[in-house]
Structure 1
């Protein structure tokens, strides 16, 4: 068995998922460069290029898409991307990505969030190559066999929506929010990513409940549940309020220190102003809290 085998790719994908789970949905360049298989280091990201072709493998293992990069990659539908060639010719780099398609080998799609930080999607397949456009077509493995979304049956459409929500939208929202909040609860500073959520300010069914960082806050599971159930509110001035009935209750240390002690405190906000909670959304959400 050669080094480039289904076992290697399965191990690489499992490693990437473990790293991302521990960081709240993102993975670092250092982690991507540290993967080993059968005692051999196999870097899961290229040093300078978007298409990663380790010498020990037969085909590409991963690609990077960067909003600030020189190539115009784009999502053409949920879970499907147009990925630009490197350069203007087939070239050695592009040939190895085409080889992954020919061999039916899945790859890792890395969406750059910040320098050295990426949102990873595993089990992505190369479903098309358009040399005339200098483009590859990549898709989440779960939806790669469904074809054009416009041709979906009702069952296929429902399946696609569930898969894309679970594998694309929810992980991306959580990863971006937790990155903005430096992997800590906005209420209590708790820092274990495995127990942190991205809480919507306005729910995803609301007309302004889109999955953007400014419509989210990083919260530990206790405070997220309290926020969703209006035991805890956040004003447009970033002040924490606790439901008056809950303030009057007497219980154990969790209630006293985990909730009641938070009343009147300021939440932690991202350092970047563009990522801080939208005050209009907070005001609307706080009105719901006040009405309970």
Structure 2
């Protein structure tokens, strides 16, 4: 298959992923992709790097889900330049799977990255480009955005430029994975009011992104409908960590307005969170809730 034909297949696969029924995908569904009358699974069940027969360049990569408290099998991380790294398969730069990724790098072909968000479930990130190859460090450098694809090493000395690159990585990878993991933990229901329409829900940070302890991890997250998320961020709504009870700021309780204020906010005062994760490891972190509640009380 030529590079031009390979690019057409990749575009078709990404368009197919655009039509997926939900954000997260599993192996069974990914195995149903067809192109030009031929079934071409987008993920390899055994290998982390997918190169279908007849192709010389890798089509997709995978990062398996690591449960909280366990070490991931590969130390994929963000470099000092703000760009994401992806570790080689093993320690041999000439392993066929590493060669397949290197071919995608040489041909400037986009790939798909399936990031594990739960056991057997993945968040697809695409298009992704390989923009660097470091055999000594046994890793490739990934661009998750068109701006990162044209990364300028001379500008990387500028802290603002590095911060911009890192911000793109957060938006394209970490925040998307964070949202999917929070929605899975809360079964796509608002923790405050139990609203169950995913398109009306956000993954709210307890401690804001960029602050100490503000990492995009499920214990720092709450599934919230958009009105309760806005109220939480505006210090209108607070969550007392001792009993997970909801508290509405006094001036809002005293206000007289329509049914949204009355039922959506004022009636929440004194109630407890209506939806929590089933897994204890996914529960909101008490220390983070305490810090956030102190901030609410200071308003």
What TM bracket, shorter-length normalisation?
0.7 to 0.9
User: 1:194 aligns to what?
Assistant: 199
User: 1:221 aligns to what?
Assistant: 226
Matched length: 289
Residues 192 and 11 from structure 1, CA distance in 2 versus in 1: closer, same or farther, beyond 3 angstroms? farther
SS of residue paired to 1:75: coil
Gaps of 5+ in 1: none
Deviation (angstroms), 1:163: 1.9
Matches of 1:277 and 1:32, distance apart in 2: 32
SS of residue paired to 2:109: coil
Q: How does 1:15-164 map to 2 (within 5 A)?
A: 15-17=16-18, 19=20, 22-23=22-23, 26-55=24-53, 57-66=55-64, 71-77=73-79, 78-85=82-89, 88=92, 90-129=94-133, 135-142=139-146, 143-146=148-151, 151-153=156-158, 156-164=161-169
SS of residue paired to 2:224: strand
2:42–2:59: 8 Å Cα contact kept in structure 1? yes
User: 2:261 aligns to what?
Assistant: 255
Q: TM-score, normalised by structure 1?
A: 0.83
Residues 283 and 226 from structure 1, CA distance in 2 versus in 1: closer, same or farther, beyond 3 angstroms? same
The CA RMSD over aligned residues, in Å, is 3.1
Matches of 1:60 and 1:193, distance apart in 2: 33
User: 2:271 aligns to what?
Assistant: 265
SS of residue paired to 1:8: helix
Residues 286 and 134 from structure 1, CA distance in 2 versus in 1: closer, same or farther, beyond 3 angstroms? closer
